[in-house]
């Protein structure tokens, strides 16, 4: 199939080794005929919502892939696969590889009992890979209330809430609900094989710095969508 579209990969970077590995995986992807690829690397992000808004406004790409610097896309057909998902339903606004159909009232996506997804996660410094596979997919995709921010793929532009989330947490579930508020679907596709690896070992201190502050903001703003 021939496409006449442009796709932009957007990455905030502060770790050269990981970002170069992420870029090498992007550079290895199969590019469908007629599809143009752009990459925006942000080295001076104040916080993710600010950087993502800046990148969103600076490109005319229809499809945007907002991803962490430690995400390595292993599915060679990633570009064609996401375009095919979007073309199934014009109401689909955003795609993730891990998400939840119901968000708990405490706002913690990972504690939901209704998760969907398929990826490889590396949570520890020892480099051990942990498969994350959730949910029984009845169709080509499942609609969800929130997706994990490791990779967020859009075909429409909705402003990121930099007025609320001036840090590194809860920007992803917030953006998911902003898309839903705007009338779009947020989905996790049925992935027969893993699309990406998330290499994100963190210390407990780093993981929870400012976490509760932004969790409380998220819960207060979006409480009607929770539970």
Which pLDDT score is estimated for 123? 86
pLDDT(203) > 90 = no
Q: What are phi and psi of 218, to 5 degrees?
A: -60, -50
pLDDT(2) > 90 = no
91, HSE (Cβ side, Cα atoms, 13 Å): 7
| Percent with pLDDT over 90 in the chain | 89
Give me the CATH topology for the region 6-225: Spore Coat Polysaccharide Biosynthesis Protein SpsA; Chain A (3.90.550)
pLDDT(30) > 60 = yes
Query: Tokens 């998760």 sit at which residue?
Result: 115
Domain positions in the chain: 6-225
| Residue-wise pLDDT tens digits, 80-128 | 999 999 999 999 999 999 999 999 999 999 999 999 999 999 988 888 8
| pTM listed for this prediction | 0.95
């Amino acid at each position: 199939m021939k496409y006449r579209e442009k796709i932009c990969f957007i990455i905030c970077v502060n770790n050269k080794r990981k970002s170069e590995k992420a870029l090498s995986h992007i550079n290895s992807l199969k590019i469908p005929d007629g599809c143009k690829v752009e990459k925006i690397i942000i080295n001076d992000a104040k916080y993710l919502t600010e950087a993502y808004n800046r990148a969103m406004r600076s490109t005319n790409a229809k499809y945007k892939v907002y991803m962490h610097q430690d995400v390595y896309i292993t599915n060679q057909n990633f570009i064609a696969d996401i375009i095919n998902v979007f073309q199934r339903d014009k109401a689909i606004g955003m795609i993730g590889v891990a998400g939840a159909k119901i968000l708990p009232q405490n706002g913690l996506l990972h504690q939901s009992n209704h998760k969907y997804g398929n990826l490889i996660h590396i949570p520890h410094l020892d480099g051990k890979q942990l498969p994350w596979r959730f949910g029984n997919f009845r169709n080509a995709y499942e609609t969800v209330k929130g997706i994990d921010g490791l990779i967020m793929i859009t075909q429409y532009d909705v402003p990121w809430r930099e007025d609320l989330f001036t840090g590194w947490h809860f920007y992803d579930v917030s953006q998911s609900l902003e898309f839903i508020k705007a009338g779009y679907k947020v989905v996790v596709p049925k992935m027969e094989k893993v699309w990406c690896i998330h290499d994100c070992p963190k210390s407990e201190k780093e993981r929870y710095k400012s976490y509760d502050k932004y969790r409380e903001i998220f819960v207060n703003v979006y409480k009607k969508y929770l539970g």
